[in-house]
């Protein structure tokens, strides 16, 4: 891959947010190829081997709920063979057991390709028991005793499985992507971010090239959707309140397509459902922003938490048949977590309330409801969590408990981590 270095970078305490980086070439050949266009001051050539090295340490998670199997098979075909695939499904089991059909189809896919695939169901009793055993009960629905529904909750399950499988990086791709080539590109870009990063705590977020739409019989390559435009603006306003400089640096507030180092994935607090991606930023600022009341380790300030935003080349074509209500749900979810953050300034809260009013998303008392938050996953005892999953069909793809000592220890990056 040949990729431009970031043109600008904003800093918020220990968090570095790099501006969107452009990809000049998706494949820039092997390491050994020395030519006149190797590296320049502004472009970095990342060899195939460097990408491959990261990919083989990566788990790629596909969260899904009731997607068409054919569509998901396309997504799987785009994920490089050396990545571990984790499918976190919340598809219905009644009246038709759609999950059973999925499991069969993905097992077949695995047989034909030799790809390692973990298929887990979000409502699996053993997974719920593992969280309960680990004292991570917030994620359980009090009525059913099973893991709550929601995209974030599926992602959290998958993050624990990736950790237990010993993967160093974890990436996410939605299951409803029509272009396998785009999926392959995203994974390569996740890897590129980690090649460029100097920190153990890094995240790559994809800024979609465009989302093609038919407008009056013509294909129109729209750049921003309603939700992204709104979330990016609000996150940038929050940043500006603290730095004193207006900015447009954040372009990936809602990026469903993103990847993290496992070290960072274990440090974050998560929020429920579709608010998870915007809340990454909020929680990074809360934890690592160096604001009064928080303590940053000197080492962390030097090492930084790095956020890369990479503009993909393929258009993003996904299932768009989910309606306006769904868009409103995602827009509101982002606004809720910004509004309720202890670091949200009064001025921004006022703007948020006005916007919610204009968009007719306000609740009765004019305060948005808050959402559910989940504590950092480093707190979970791995062996206790793992033991309960020993009988699951995917258990052979996890590092056996007897070898847990080979898993890197991940404790808190901060001296104190606030409990939710
Ligand atoms: N495991 C699991 N559990 N997966 C879920 C659930 C759930 O409860 N709900 C949805 N998913 C899966 C979907 O099947 C899909 O693969 C993915 O999560 C994204 O959900 P969509 O409902 O298709 O979201 P979207 O395409 O409108 O929005 C996506 O892009 C936004 C950025 O524009 C999501 O990734 C958003 O999180 C993201 O902000």
- Report the pLDDT value the prediction gives residue 420, as an integer from 0 to 100: 40
Rounded to an integer, the average pLDDT of 105-121 is 98
CA of 177 to the centre of ligand 1 (A): 11
- Report the pLDDT value the prediction gives residue 185, as an integer from 0 to 100: 98
pLDDT digits 0-9 by tens, 237-267: 999 999 999 999 999 999 999 999 999 999 9
Count the neighbouring beta carbons within 10 Å of the beta carbon of residue 40: 12
Residue nearest to atom 10 of ligand 1 (CA): 151
Closest atom of ligand 1 relative to the 88 alpha carbon: 1
Full residue range of the structural domain in which residue 256 is found: 2-397
Cα–Cα distance for residue pair 361/351, rounded to 1 Å: 13
Residue nearest to atom 31 of ligand 1 (CA): 256
- Report the pLDDT value the prediction gives residue 294, as an integer from 0 to 100: 67
> Has residue 111 been placed in a domain?
yes
311: cis peptide before it, omega within 30°? Answer: no
Helix (H) / strand (E) element for 333: namely helix 323-339
Residue nearest to atom 39 of ligand 1 (CA): 254
CA of 119 to the centre of ligand 1 (A): 17
Q: Cβ distance 42 to 67 under 8 Å?
A: no
Residue nearest to atom 30 of ligand 1 (CA): 256
- Report the pLDDT value the prediction gives residue 302, as an integer from 0 to 100: 75
Range scoring the smallest mean pLDDT among 95-99, 360-364, 405-409 = 360-364
pLDDT digits 0-9 by tens, 74-84: 999 999 999 99
| % of the chain with per-residue pLDDT over 90 | 79
- Report the pLDDT value the prediction gives residue 418, as an integer from 0 to 100: 44
CA of 64 to the centre of ligand 1 (A): 7
Q: Which range is most confident: 190-194, 317-321, 408-412?
A: 190-194
- Report the pLDDT value the prediction gives residue 290, as an integer from 0 to 100: 86
Cα–Cα distance for residue pair 93/96, rounded to 1 Å: 6
Residue 382 pLDDT > 60? yes
> Has residue 93 been placed in a domain?
yes
> Has residue 418 been placed in a domain?
no
CA of 387 to the centre of ligand 1 (A): 30
pLDDT, averaged across the chain: 92
- Report the pLDDT value the prediction gives residue 103, as an integer from 0 to 100: 98
CA of 225 to the centre of ligand 1 (A): 15
φ, ψ for residue 192, nearest 5 deg: -60, -40
> Has residue 412 been placed in a domain?
no
> Has residue 49 been placed in a domain?
yes
> Has residue 416 been placed in a domain?
no
CA of 317 to the centre of ligand 1 (A): 14
CA distances from 162 to 65, 265, 399 (A): 20, 10, 10
Residue 417 pLDDT > 50? no
CA of 274 to the centre of ligand 1 (A): 7
Residue nearest to atom 14 of ligand 1 (CA): 64
Measuring CA to CA, which residue among 376, 375, 380 is closest to residue 131? 380
pLDDT digits 0-9 by tens, 167-225: 999 999 999 999 999 999 999 999 999 999 999 999 999 998 878 887 888 888 887 78
What is the number of structural domains in the chain?
Answer: 1
- Check which CATH number belongs to the domain holding 149 and give it: 3.90.550.10
> Has residue 12 been placed in a domain?
yes
- Report the pLDDT value the prediction gives residue 94, as an integer from 0 to 100: 93
Residue 379 pLDDT > 50? yes
- For 364-402, the DSSP string reads TTSSPPP--EE--GGGS-HHHHHHTTTTSTTGGGSPPGG
> Has residue 84 been placed in a domain?
yes
Q: Which residues line ligand 1 (CB under 6 A)?
A: 63-65, 67, 88-90, 122, 149-151, 154, 174-176, 225, 227-228, 254, 256, 274, 277, 318, 322, 326, 330
φ, ψ for residue 193, nearest 5 deg: -60, -45
């Amino acid at each position: 891959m040949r990729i431009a270095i970031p043109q600008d970078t904003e800093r918020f305490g220990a968090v570095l947010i790099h501006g969107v980086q452009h990809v000049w070439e998706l494949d820039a050949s092997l390491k050994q190829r020395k030519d006149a266009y190797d590296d320049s001051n502004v472009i970095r050539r990342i060899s195939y081997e460097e990408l491959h090295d990261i990919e083989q340490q990566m788990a790629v998670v596909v969260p899904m709920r009731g997607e068409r199997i054919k569509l998901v098979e396309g997504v799987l075909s785009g994920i490089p063979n050396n990545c571990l695939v984790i499918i976190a499904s919340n598809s219905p089991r009644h009246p038709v057991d759609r999950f059973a059909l999925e499991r069969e189809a993905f097992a077949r896919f695995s047989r034909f390709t030799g790809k390692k695939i973990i298929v887990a169901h979000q409502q699996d009793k053993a997974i719920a028991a593992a969280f309960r055993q680990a004292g991570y009960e917030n994620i359980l629905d009090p009525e059913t005793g099973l893991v709550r529904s929601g995209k974030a909750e599926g992602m959290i399950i998958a993050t624990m499985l990736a950790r237990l499988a010993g993967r160093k990086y974890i990436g996410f791709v939605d299951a409803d992507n029509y272009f396998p080539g785009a999926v392959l590109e995203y994974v390569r870009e996740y890897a590129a971010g980690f090649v460029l990063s100097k920190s153990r705590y890094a995240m790559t977020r994809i800024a979609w090239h465009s989302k093609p739409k038919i407008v009056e019989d013509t294909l129109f390559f729209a750049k921003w959707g309603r939700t992204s435009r709104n979330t990016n603006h609000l996150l940038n306003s929050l940043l500006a309140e603290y730095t004193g400089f207006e900015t447009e640096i954040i372009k990936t507030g809602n990026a469903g397509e993103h990847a993290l180092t496992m070290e960072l994935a274990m440090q974050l607090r998560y929020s429920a459902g579709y608010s998870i991606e915007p809340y990454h930023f909020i929680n990074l600022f809360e934890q690592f922003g160096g604001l009064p009341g928080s303590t940053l380790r000197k080492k962390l300030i030097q090492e930084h938490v790095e956020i890369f935003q990479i503009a993909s080349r393929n258009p993003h074509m996904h299932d768009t048949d989910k309606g306006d209500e769904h868009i409103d749900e995602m827009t509101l979810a982002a606004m809720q977590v910004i509004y309720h953050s202890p670091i949200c300034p009064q001025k921004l809260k006022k703007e948020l309330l006005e916007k919610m009013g204009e968009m007719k998303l306000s609740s009765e008392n004019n305060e948005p409801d808050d959402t559910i938050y989940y504590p950092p996953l480093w707190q979970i005892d791995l062996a206790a969590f793992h033991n309960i999953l020993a009988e699951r069909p995917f258990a052979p793809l996890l590092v056996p408990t007897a070898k847990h000592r080979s898993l890197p220890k991940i404790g808190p990056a901060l001296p104190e981590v606030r409990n939710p």
